[in-house]
Amino acid sequence: MALAHEPIEYKGKLVEFPVENPAEKDIPLEEIHQHLARPSTPRTRRLKENCRWKHTAAGEFVDEGVKAGIERMRLITEAHKKSVGKPYVIRRALGLDHILRNCTVLLMADELIVGYHAENPKWIPMFPELSYMQIQDYLQSKYAPEPADEAREIADYWKPYTLQAACEPYFTKEELKEAYHPALIEAPNFANGFNSIVPPYETVLEDGLLQRIALAEQHIKAAREKLADLPWNADRLELTDKIDNWQAMIIADKAVIAWARRHARLCRIVAEHFETDPQRKEELLMIADICQRVPAEPSRGLRDAMQAKWFTYLICHAIERYASGYAQLEDKLLWPYYKASVIDKTFQPMTHADAVELFECERLKVSNHGAGKSRQYREIFPGANDLFILSIGGLNRYGEDNCTDCTDAILEAARNVRTAEPSIVFRWHPKCRLKTKRLVFECIRDGLGFPSIKHHAINAAQMLWLGRFSKNNNGATPEEAQEWANVLCMSPGLVGRRKTQKTRSEGGSSLFTEKILEITLFDGYDWSYANDQYGPHTGDPRDFKTFEELWEAYRKQIQHFISLAIRAKDISRKMEGRLLQMPFVSSIDDGCMEYGLDAMVLSEQPNPWQNPQCNIVALNSLVAIKKLIYDEKKYTMDQLIAATEEVPICQDTGVAVIFLELGQDVRIEGGYLYDAINAGVARGYTGGYLRKSMVYPPVDGKNSGDNTPAIIHTRIVPGEHLTITIAPKGGGSENMSAVGMLTPAAGYEGVKKFVVEAVKKAGPNPCPPIVVGVGIGGNFEKCALLAKESLLRPLGQPHPREEIAALEKEILEAINCLGIGPQGFGGRVTALAVHIEIFARHIASFPVAVNIQCHAARHKSVTL
């Protein structure tokens, strides 16, 4: 049922937290999220119902039908082949031009904001010019572009031209091995194709692209005149590169205008020849008019601004190249257009409710968006499409409250439509109006997970401090520092007409400090994941006499990996400036336009972010080591390393379940066999530092302290051998077991239904992905034993009987359609395998047992 916090006393007052809707008290928690969703119009309700989500879990797309499209791959390749011999920045512009003039243009039902970046709304584009490893991952998956032969041919063509191929020669094989390790540092940009951009949206909305084209043409004219001045000065040679950049900007901007007007033409054709609903026909003609004007011309109303912003976003983040993020100070950006339409009603007049609907439409466009991320990023962003984070609130450049009715419309839309993205950052300041702050807390109270609240003044001060390190002494001014937004996760950056972050490869990387501590304890050797030397040799900690020696070894490992990560970023940025220029982004940045520089080259405001992850784990471990080993000397480093080498996969190392195959000719001497087994279990669980879980008596008993007694199953077999199999079984998965006495008429369908229902009821509790053991036949206790024994079979090995093997496959497919997914976060892989064992049954009985095992599925056999 819906939960509300208990009343608390604060400064002598009792503060209560009633639920807004009393009916929520009777709504199950698993339903409360959707119950609170109230799209403000039938349109946004339908748009949400029809949204093509691109969310992932465990690296897999959750919704059926999501796949990679081939169209962008094909078009960028055609352009690349045709433009051989031209300056590379011109080739990049011509590539964008060829894509935008030939790609499929989509128009989806009900939408008020148009534009997508692939040929099918369930598909995602591919970027073969970035990382050949990323493309190979898709080619080998079920999401591969089709035709497959053409996709492979395109990937092979691009491999020598990729950013990855350009960067790898600057690293040794050993360094690349370290850089590609997924648990030490974030993989380099050139390997995963990842980037994030803060587009200067203001320039597009305020100027329009026709004005940017005219400005570039003026710069070219002036540069040509300067080249012709007498006498000649070789310093003017740099003007040739600038002319190329300005020409590329013109090509890109004209292509974007043509692309937008293709949308206008499509909307007009559908309205005039196919649409039968008069209201929708009027909407389509309105959208056609908007797309004809923007982003070519300045935006005049809120509908203009939203459409121009969306077109800009798609080009910068999904067509010119792949880039994550949705960085913008949206309420500041759109306030002039909200004011014109909602308050002054001078252009595209509408109500506040109309504006809320438009923001709801934007949220759903973002949710429908899909990115061709690498598998690593699909795994680390579970439940999300990509990283989409916009900022609101705070102060404006004059130190005044930035919160307006536009801010409130953004928050109301988020609360109404309840999508995971775009996420929202609220820039908190005492001057921010109370009404808006209340909306912020209502969104949080409703469980949206956002807005996250950031301190406006601290981040503004950070912008000023970083501005001191500008390469061209043109860092943030005090006014510009007020207008910061979150660039991606937590890192603030400038927004506006210039000085924005135009490449994620500026700055640092992610560093996994707890993993680096682990390999420090093993002289740079990664025993637990890769079984190879990955860090420098910094000494065997067992030889260290003081904590300071261990600290110095750890510092050297950190220095090694942070230097490698930043070097990979810097080389990525250098090669991006040579091979992956962004003419469109450059055209809308005032600094790039002024200097004739590409966006991948110009850096005015530094953004030296660094993301050390799991610091708490590393620091807590170091504190414990210092205290327990070096100060109190309670343990030795030998003991720590021994325990680390034998660390279990899970804290629940379970009941020791033993299966014995005792040869009938075997004679046990020197004691009782079961006593020997329990002594071995006790030694293993105490010496191996495994969790002890056995208590006796079972109702209110005391822990035995060594995980005995074991549960032992003995089978007499022919021969002179003794085979011992141990299969520790954790309580979380064991508790999900089920035994059912079905009717004989239930048949295979009855078995399937019983097993699937047991797994559905188990949900995330057994730590999926799971292995499902099934016993059929025998009697009450025999079927349960069969189910447990089936878990000993090698993973995925089918039953020898064809009809049982077919049943295993059928049940596995049904389980994986439940959508529970790894750890219950959703996805297609709930079970890794279904194993069935069978036995004869009584004619009037049909016992079936389900015994679920977690993904660890540990078992080991030895024959004496």
pLDDT score for 30: 63
- Identity (one letter) of the amino acid at 312? T
pLDDT score for 3: 61
- Identity (one letter) of the amino acid at 646? E
Six-digit token string for 768: 């999926």
Query: What is the phi/psi pair of residue 402, to 5°?
Result: -90, -10
CA distance 390 to 688: 49
Paired residues of 512 in beta bridges: 613
Query: pLDDT tens digits for 781-809?
Result: 999 999 999 999 988 789 999 999 999 99
- Placement of tokens 């011509």 in the chain: 94
Q: Which has the minimum average pLDDT: 86-100, 236-250, 398-412, 651-665?
A: 651-665
pLDDT score for 583: 98
What band does 488 get if pLDDT is binned at 50, 70 and 90? confident
Residue 4 has pLDDT above 70, yes or no: no
> If DSSP codes are grouped into helix, strand and coil, which group holds residue 389?
strand
Q: Which has the minimum average pLDDT: 28-42, 228-242, 248-262, 749-763?
A: 28-42
pLDDT score for 648: 57
What band does 649 get if pLDDT is binned at 50, 70 and 90? low
Handedness of CA 450, 456, 458, 459 (dihedral sign): positive
pLDDT score for 700: 82
Query: What is the phi/psi pair of residue 768, to 5°?
Result: -65, 160
What domains are defined for the chain? 8-48 (no CATH), 49-127+193-503 (3.20.70.20), 511-618 (no CATH), 655-726 (no CATH), 731-863 (no CATH)
Query: What is the phi/psi pair of residue 847, to 5°?
Result: -75, 140
Q: Which has the minimum average pLDDT: 281-295, 438-452, 578-592?
A: 438-452
Average pLDDT over residues 49-66: 89
- Placement of tokens 């005149």 in the chain: 225
Q: What is the chain's mean pLDDT, rounded?
A: 92
| CB-based contact 98:254 (threshold 8 Å) | no
Who has greater pLDDT, 34 or 246?
246
Question: What's 395's DSSP letter?
Answer: B
Question: What's 326's DSSP letter?
Answer: -
Who has greater pLDDT, 350 or 769?
350
Average pLDDT over residues 503-532: 88
Average pLDDT over residues 7-23: 78
CA distance 229 to 373: 49
CA distance 322 to 371: 7
- Placement of tokens 């534009």 in the chain: 115
Residue 15 has pLDDT above 90, yes or no: no
Six-digit token string for 421: 């993205």
Helical spans, DSSP H, in 425-508: 434-445, 456-467, 478-482
CA distance 203 to 587: 9
| CB-based contact 548:556 (threshold 8 Å) | no
- DSSP string covering 609-669, please? --EEE-HHHHHHHHHHHIIIIIIS-SS-HHHHHHHHHT--SSS---B-EEEEEEETT----
Residue 336 has pLDDT above 90, yes or no: yes
Length of the chain (residues): 864
- Placement of tokens 């320039």 in the chain: 203
Residue 457 has pLDDT above 70, yes or no: yes
| CB-based contact 152:77 (threshold 8 Å) | no
CA distance 566 to 608: 10
What band does 647 get if pLDDT is binned at 50, 70 and 90? low
Average pLDDT over residues 258-271: 98
Q: Is 241 exposed, middle or buried (0-12, 13-18, 19+ CB in 10 A)?
A: middle
CA distance 766 to 855: 9
Who has greater pLDDT, 137 or 27?
137
- Placement of tokens 């981040």 in the chain: 459
